[in-house]
Amino acid sequence: MQYYFDILPSPIGDLLILAQEFALKEIVFQPKDQAHQIHPQWIRGSELIAQTKNELTAYFSGHLKEFTVQVNPSGTPFQKKIWKEVMSIPYGKVCSYQDVANNINHASACRAVGRANAQNPIPIIIPCHRVIGKSGKLTGYAGGLDRKQKLLSVEGIETEENPNQFKLF
């Protein structure tokens, strides 16, 4: 199976984008002080990689509210069900882990929703940053709460002054 990649500098740090021919597989937040982990058999760039970079750039500049790039994340069927639900949260809205669990008919699965989001291989496009605590507060994010806050800010959700202002979707 052939993999394609590229690196996108962004307002939240460099993003390593990894895809197969027809679907995006991963977006990885790159540590500031570490070299990118590039497999020697990966090929730099493809049409899908270019589309992903263009859409992410438009998103960060406030000109894109819905991604159209095809995704095929690796995960369990249950994780994929959670990620599909997370993808239905509209731009500029947030919802709680409990809401996601309820929407997939697993009301007691709040922690499983959190674990699935922590393992989300395609952050931003699978917008796990839009999932917050039931109290309305920012809680865990694999990329760090500062990135989560910046992503929500891109979508017009300001968190610095009043972290409890969130209106759940």
| Mean pLDDT, 10 residues at a time, the chain of 169 residues | 95 95 94 77 96 98 96 97 97 94 94 95 97 85 90 84 50
Question: What's the pLDDT score for residue 167?
Answer: 52
Q: Catalytic residue among 71, 128, 132, 138, which?
A: 128
Q: φ, ψ for residue 33 (rounded to 5)? A: -105, 15
Question: What's the pLDDT score for residue 136?
Answer: 80
Which of the following CATH numbers is that of domain 77-154: 3.50.4.10, 3.40.50.920, 1.10.10.10, 3.40.50.670?
Answer: 1.10.10.10
Question: What's the pLDDT score for residue 169?
Answer: 53
Question: What's the pLDDT score for residue 161?
Answer: 44
Yes or no: say if 27 and 36 are a contact pair by the CB < 8 Å rule.
no
Known catalytic residue at 128: yes
List the domain boundaries for the chain. Answer: 4-60, 77-154
Question: What's the pLDDT score for residue 26?
Answer: 97
150 three-class SS: helix
Return the half-sphere exposure (C-beta side, CA atoms, 13 A cut-off) of residue 90.
6
